[in-house]
Amino acid sequence: MNNAEINVFKQKALQWATSFEVYCCLDSNKYSDPYTQYDCLIAIGSDHTLAANAGNAFDKLHSFYEEHKNWMFGLLSYELKNEVEDLSSQHTDQLNFPDLFFFIPTYLIALQGDEIKVIKGDPSIIEIIHQIKLNHSTSKPNLKIESKFDKETYIETVEKLKTHIKRGDIYEINFCQEFFANHAEINPLAVYNELNTLSPTPFAGFFKINHKYILSATPERFLCKRNNRLISQPIKGTAKRSKNSVEDEQIKIALKSSIKEQAENVMIVDLVRNDLTKSAVQGSVKVDELFGIYTFPQVHQMISTISCELNPTTHFIDAIKNTFPMGSMTGAPKIKAMELIDAYEKSKRGAFSGSFGCISPSGNFDFNVIIRSILYNEKEQYLSFQVGGAITYAADPESEYEECLLKASAILKVLGQ
């Protein structure tokens, strides 16, 4: 099958999946790196599910995996921080995703190159999916999008966070703001398809958990395991693209050589190295790439790659727990940064800045970072997306605010704003 035919099949499979209560699509958008196993995985229906709140959720996931040793897809909410560390969240949550949710799919379809493969379930579903007639929804959602911060309050808050940095409480914090819409009615799959067309990214995905949805165009990998190696690829450093190719190349070079962006990036690299050490064979943690520049439709990003050899005495679920939540979404030192996030942000993060992905029967896994993502509770008609950035001593509050709007641009566009 050619590219166009594979894409049509993917659209039909996602449309067929909408009749199920639970399904998950992980799409690399044909982005190839040494760790990507499939172009796209579509997990549909559930034979077994696990939903747990922070407390002993990771232990339950450990038991769930050991009991089934099957393909499983799932969500790790940011709120699991309250289990990993002695923390809590004071903010209200109108989305109400579970803190942890995993399911073993009834059907699992893999797309790789020009091939379609049914990994789990009756192979005849390929023919059923081929017969689907595609619905092409073109209507833009009619939403009133608001922000929990106006520009002035955002800038004031960044100044307060810089005061914490000046007095040595922290040296970097990922500070986020929520955009939201009440009385929101959208076609989740149509919005996701448009977002993925406008902003195709390597760790994109669509996750439906009953009446709750994650529509993600995330460019960031949290953590993956390939055999006995763990790999983390934090993003820190963002620059806007230019339509002028010469200017775009200059922006890329400026990002690569920016002392500010390098400082942000290396702080998180150090944090990730420290997190990986907890699960690593002694002396095996290494930085494979520092300050790599990667280009996406809206932005250039600075991405570093850190890896280690997993200690044979450490279960891979514990390795996930030992690095969670990801340092790129907290700041450093990690615990103090998370305390200040709860104090200064105005929304509970919930699924945002958590992760979703999959675990294979052999214990390999791949999890993204939930950024550049729309979260939607259909029952409550509440839609939300959050954006943020790293605040350091050198941060300019006005520039940080503009960077938030840049990161939100693709989502605002598909929501008709």
Q: Is residue 141 part of a domain?
A: no
Q: Is residue 340 part of a domain?
A: yes
Are 327 and 275 within 8 A, CB to CB?
Answer: yes
pLDDT digits (tens, 9 = 90+) for 250-294: 999 999 999 989 998 999 999 999 999 999 999 999 999 999 999
pLDDT digits (tens, 9 = 90+) for 72-105: 999 999 999 999 999 998 898 999 999 999 999 9
pLDDT beyond 90 at 297: no
Say what percent of the chain tops pLDDT 70. Answer: 100
pLDDT at residue number 1? 79
**Looking at residues 229-235, what average pLDDT do you find?**
97
pLDDT digits (tens, 9 = 90+) for 305-349: 999 999 999 999 999 999 999 999 999 999 999 999 999 999 999
The total of structural domains in the chain comes to: 1
pLDDT digits (tens, 9 = 90+) for 112-143: 999 999 999 999 999 999 999 998 776 778 89
The boundaries of the domain holding residue 191 are 3-133+146-414
Give the Å distances, CA to CA, from 148 to 81, 165, 178, 184. 23, 24, 6, 17
Q: Is residue 138 part of a domain?
A: no
Q: Is residue 109 part of a domain?
A: yes
Which residue is listed with tokens 């190839």? 32
Of 246, 260, 248, 190, the residue nearest 414 (C-alpha): 190
pLDDT at residue number 20? 98
Two structure tokens written together for 221: 């990998």
Cα separation of 335 and 86, whole Å? 9
Q: Which residues are designated catalytic?
A: 220, 236
Q: Is residue 173 part of a domain?
A: yes
Question: Mean pLDDT, the chain, as a whole number?
Answer: 95
Are 299 and 407 within 8 A, CB to CB?
Answer: yes
Confidence of residue 178 (pLDDT cuts 50, 70, 90): very high
Domain of 368: which CATH number?
Answer: 3.60.120.10
Q: Is residue 392 part of a domain?
A: yes
Q: Is residue 350 part of a domain?
A: yes
Q: Is residue 140 part of a domain?
A: no
Which residue is listed with tokens 């290396």? 266
**Looking at residues 353-360, what average pLDDT do you find?**
98
Give the Å distances, CA to CA, from 122 to 28, 69, 107, 114. 25, 20, 8, 20
pLDDT at residue number 104? 98
